[in-house]
Amino acid sequence: MDSRSKILNAASQLFLEGGGSALSVRAISKRAGLSTIGIYSHFQGKQGILDALYIEGFNLVREAMDVVPEGKANKAQVLQSCLGYLNVGEQHEAHYRLIFGESDAGYQPSEEAIEARNSAFSKLVRVAGSYLPDSSSVSERRQIALDVWAIVHGYVSISHHVTSSNDSDLDWKAMAIRVVEVQLDAARERFK
């Protein structure tokens, strides 16, 4: 295996084990059995490592929403995409925290990383937008996608931060799905 892959594997391992705070340059290179220099020759320093994981994260989100065929979607299919998003938030907490800036206070995604985020959002625009009437404009489709995104992200984020004893077994995903459904109905009514 080439050094680049060794580094990326080591970084992924540490990231999944301990989140962003476990990702030090020296820890990564030690796990990879290499010196620290490869992180700067094969990546652009720690920023490059975080970019790679950020892109992984948004690709997970995009793929999780990509569970319905392209074209017109019914309500259940839109909700199925939302459930995919919510599952990523639950099962890939480290990646999810990274893509929303909780893993490294200084990290700013690169242009390439932002492209991965835009690609995931475009997927959501197609899925959620396809539930609107065919005559709906692009901005209307983007609007409903933003609404859906804000809702599901809100629940994922809150669920990551509120872990009080009573609330720990709340069904965040069902709550989010219910709110999205109400919003979808309202949007279709508004644009019909």
For the CB of residue 167, give the shortest distance to a second copy in the complex, in Å: 8
Q: Taking CB within 5 to 8 Å according to partner kind, which of a second copy, DNA, none is near residue 13?
A: none
CB 114 to DNA: min, Å: 18
- 6 or 156: CB nearest a second copy: 156
- Phi, psi torsion values for 100, nearest 5 degrees: -115, 30
CB of 98: closest distance to DNA in angstroms?
Answer: 14
Helix (H) or strand (E) holding 2: none
Q: Which is nearer to a second copy, 90 or 104 (CB)?
A: 104
3-state secondary structure of 5: helix
Q: How far is 66 from 69, CA to CA, in rounded Å?
A: 8
**Tokens at residue 65, please?**
């929403």
> 32 or 148, CB closer to DNA?
32
Q: Are 133 and 188 in contact (CB under 8 A)?
A: yes
CA distance 144 to 127: 10
In the bound state with a second copy, the residue whose beta carbon lies nearer, of 20 and 129, is 20
Q: For the CB of residue 24, give the shortest distance to DNA in the complex, in Å.
A: 3
- CA 158 – CA 93 distance, rounded (Å): 12
Q: Which residues bind a second copy (CB under 8 A)?
A: 19-21, 97, 100-106, 117-118, 121, 143, 146-147, 149-155, 157-158, 160-162, 164, 170, 175-176, 179, 182-183, 186
Between residues 43 and 96, which has the closer beta carbon with respect to a second copy? 96
Q: How far is the CB of 43 from a second copy (least distance, A)?
A: 19
CA distances from 63 to 10, 43, 66, 70 (A): 24, 25, 5, 13
Work out the widest C-alpha separation in the chain, in whole angstroms.
Answer: 61
For the segment 16-75, give every residue that binds DNA (CB under 7 A): 23-27, 34-42, 45-47
Task: Evaluate whether 90 touches 169 at the Cβ level (below 8 Å).
Answer: no
* Residue 41 touches which of DNA, a second copy, none (Cβ within 5-8 Å per kind): DNA
120 contacts 66 by C-beta, under 8 angstroms: no
Which of the choices DNA, a second copy, none does residue 16 contact, using the CB cut-off of 5 to 8 A by kind? none
